[in-house]
Amino acid sequence: MKKVLFFLFSIFLVISLTSLKNLPGIENVETSKISTLYKNIDPKSVIQLFAFYNLYPNTKEGKEALKKAWNLLKQENVKDPLVLPTLDINLMIDLVNKQGRFLPDNLNEEKLTFLASLGKSLKNRALKGSTLWDIDEIQKLSPQEIDLSRALFLEEMGSEKDAIYKIKYYEAVLDLMALQILAKLNENPTDIDKINAINEFIFYEKKFRFPPHSIHAKQIDTFTFLSTVMDSRRGVCLGVSILYLSLAQRLGLELEIITPPGHIFVRYNDGSKIINIETTARGCDFPSEVYLGIETKKLQKRNIKEVVGLAFINEASVNWGLKKYDDAVVLYQKASKYIKNDPILNELLGLNLLFTGKIDEGKKLLSALKDYKSEYLTTKENFIDDYLNNKTDIESLKEIFAPVEGDRQSILEKQNTLKKIVEKYPNFRAGLFQLANSYLQLGREKEAYKYLLKNYELDTSDIIVNYYLSIISFERLDYANAWKYFKNTEKLLIKENHFPKALKNFKETLKRASPEILN
């Protein structure tokens, strides 16, 4: 065995070491005080045990701490002389607190191999994908064979020599995370035990968090990359879910991947018990109905392989927002290697093909979706029909999908653009709806109502338009129309066999304000 413990916990040691060093008179601690400190160490914390050994390597307690640490890592056969080199604590603090990527300068291939050997018993080692370094071969694997972290790291960094070095480093850190989680568990932990331990480690011990809104909206791709999430301890829903799944694979914990529109979370489901793990809220278990609404009637499940494709979709969305449509097309095409024949992905790709001038290719994809309605939603996209029927054009499609900042000026600018679009294409339903929504954002319900009515006249079966008209009518004390559009909404949702809580609650509110108006 090599003397590599400096690297073994380079990510984790600093907090424990610093807290011990800061104790009064630590430089001259008496034997009894050392014993007291040792007794106060969490006996299942590999981090604290190695830190203690580093401080007191020549004491009886220090040697016991080292032995316990190796036992917790399932390395009972490790023999002396394994020692921890003296650490430069200030340097460690600087490195651990550094925002961005950190790779130890003196971490060579031999040491990386040793680190990898520590995780040889982790469950992801049984996955075929954990043995492959060729991304083309990984793309051919079934979802059950994919090692999520290996696939994502290869797609992000490539397979050149320097990239493989970085990948091995990040994989070693993931292994150490998983080993630390296992060290806190009993001999035969249940799946629930593992979930609780992962939650405690990610959200409370390491304090992974959702990035500030002002940052994540513009850098959703950055906070999706697994390496960035690990470095910064910040991640959007997909980024932290990817970290969670990567650890779960190492612990042999099977989880479902759930994707409501524009979101993702992970779920434990053993057939009798369901635990939703909301990675943007420190692993809280929210009821499934929280994710349902007027438009979302069913939650879509994804597999591990598709998660790799979702990372590309996140990255593509940023390029789309920056009007880098060619780059977005490339990324959507990469995503399609992991998410096969997906209508949503084909829709996104089709639009961006139009935007790059590849009209025939874009139209072909969108035409195939003309009559498509997702089984997970109560509504279908109407902009495809309107485009194919010449009720709008490509430039108008670009504008309705253009991102908007949350400030008033940005909303007004988008609103003026939408006005021009609906003047040119008065039957463009998505344009009318977005224009109405812009007025709602500004608190101007009267104007919003006008454009929603125009939308309703074009399509009386639009559930969301009916729902909005009912709510605005209620707010304006126009109970007759509130009931009219409510009943339309209710009938349309009954056809979808969907009875959302939001609609039930609104009905009760409407009843209290005005008796139900019969047809």
Of 299, 297, 300, nearest in space to 496 by CA: 297
Contact 224, 236 (CB under 8 A): yes
- Expressed in angstroms, the distance from the first to the final Cα of the chain is 83
Contact 172, 116 (CB under 8 A): yes
Contact 49, 65 (CB under 8 A): yes
- 327-330 long-range CB contacts below 8 Å, 24 or more apart? 328/352, 329/353, 329/356, 329/358
Pair 155, 260 in one domain = yes
Q: Looking at 272, 302, 332, which one is the last position of a domain?
A: 302
- Tell me which DSSP letter residue 123 carries: G
d(CA 468, CA 377): 17
Pair 117, 233 in one domain = yes
Burial class (CB in 10 A: 0-12, 13-18, 19+), 66: buried
Give this prediction's pTM: 0.84
Strands 256-258, 301-302: parallel, antiparallel or unpaired by DSSP?
Answer: antiparallel
**Collapsed DSSP state (helix, strand, coil) of residue 268:** strand
CATH number of the domain enclosing 161 = 3.10.620
Pair 38, 119 in one domain = no
Pair 85, 128 in one domain = no
Reported as a single tens digit per residue, the pLDDT across 366-415 is 999 999 999 999 999 999 999 999 999 999 999 999 888 878 999 999 99
Pair 130, 269 in one domain = yes
| Residue 357 belongs to some domain of the structure | no
| Residue 75 belongs to some domain of the structure | yes
Domain carrying residue 44: 1-98
Distance set, CA 13 to CA 4, 84, 316 (Å): 14, 12, 37
For residue 52, the model assigns a pLDDT of 77
Pair 218, 251 in one domain = yes
Q: Looking at 277, 302, 327, which one is the last position of a domain?
A: 302
Cite the DSSP H helix spans in 336-400: 343-355, 359-367, 383-388, 394-400
Pair 127, 1 in one domain = no
| Residue 458 belongs to some domain of the structure | no
Pair 80, 111 in one domain = no
| Residue 351 belongs to some domain of the structure | no
Pair 160, 256 in one domain = yes
| Residue 425 belongs to some domain of the structure | no
Contact 177, 247 (CB under 8 A): yes
Pair 81, 111 in one domain = no
Contact 90, 79 (CB under 8 A): no
Q: Looking at 285, 302, 319, which one is the last position of a domain?
A: 302
Say which residues have a Cβ less than 8 Å from residue 319's Cβ, sequence separation at least 6.
325, 327, 328, 331
Pair 36, 154 in one domain = no
| Residue 411 belongs to some domain of the structure | no
| Residue 142 belongs to some domain of the structure | yes
Pair 37, 58 in one domain = yes
For residue 418, the model assigns a pLDDT of 97
| Residue 510 belongs to some domain of the structure | no
d(CA 148, CA 225): 12
Reported as a single tens digit per residue, the pLDDT across 253-275 is 999 999 999 999 999 999 999 99
Of 313, 316, 318, 311, nearest in space to 217 by CA: 318
Positions in the chain short of pLDDT 50: 1-28, 79-100, 214-219
d(CA 384, CA 418): 18
d(CA 455, CA 384): 16
What's the domain count of the chain? 2
For residue 87, the model assigns a pLDDT of 31
